[in-house]
């Protein structure tokens, strides 16, 4: 007789319950590892310094300028008035982006980037 036969049926745990326990514990451990990796990337990439919702930045949250972007509804009736409204919003945003000159070749010059080499 082997050791498995010596254990009474009341004490023995069925194989499917052991695997379920391993699956649950493994899933929790994997989730914790992935969260730690995500938090490490969040801190190392510099995104943590940009996050003003953190408690240390409560004093400057009121200084943030809200976005002035006017969005267009994703659902509704499509007619000529709706198309005209969309084109007006599109043209307004296009002019705002073009006026900042971010797509000009001079935006990538050393002087514009603040890395003047001697």
Q: Check: CB of residue 63 under 8 Å from CB of residue 52.
A: no
DSSP class of 74: S
The pLDDT tens digits for 82-109 are 899 889 988 887 776 666 666 677 766 6
User: Looking at the structure, do residues 5 and 48 belong to the same domain, yes or no?
Assistant: yes
How many domains is the chain built from?
2
Domain of residue 46, residue span: 1-64
Q: Number of C-alpha atoms within 13 angstroms, CB side, residue 71?
A: 4
Query: Does one domain contain both 58 and 1?
Result: yes
**More confident of the two residues 118 and 29:** 29
Asked if 73 and 111 sit in the same domain, the reply is yes
With a CB cutoff of 8 Å and minimum separation 6, the contacts of 85 are 72
Does 48 share its domain with 90? no
- Category of 96 on φ-ψ map: left (φ > 0), alpha (ψ -120 to 50) or beta: alpha
Q: Tens digits of per-residue pLDDT, 4-49? A: 556 566 666 666 677 888 899 999 999 999 999 999 998 888 777 6
What pTM was estimated for this model as a whole?
0.39
């Amino acid at each position: 007789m082997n050791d498995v036969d010596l254990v009474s049926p009341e004490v023995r745990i069925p194989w499917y319950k052991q695997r379920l326990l391993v699956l649950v514990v493994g899933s929790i451990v994997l989730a914790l590892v992935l969260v730690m990796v995500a938090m490490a990337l969040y801190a190392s990439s510099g995104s943590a310094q940009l996050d003003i919702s953190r408690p240390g930045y409560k004093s400057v949250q009121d200084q943030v300028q809200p976005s002035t972007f006017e969005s267009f509804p994703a659902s509704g009736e499509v007619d000529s008035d709706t198309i005209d409204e969309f084109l007006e919003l599109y043209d307004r945003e296009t002019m705002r982006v073009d006026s900042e000159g971010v797509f000009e070749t001079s935006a990538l010059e050393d002087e514009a980037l603040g890395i003047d080499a001697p």
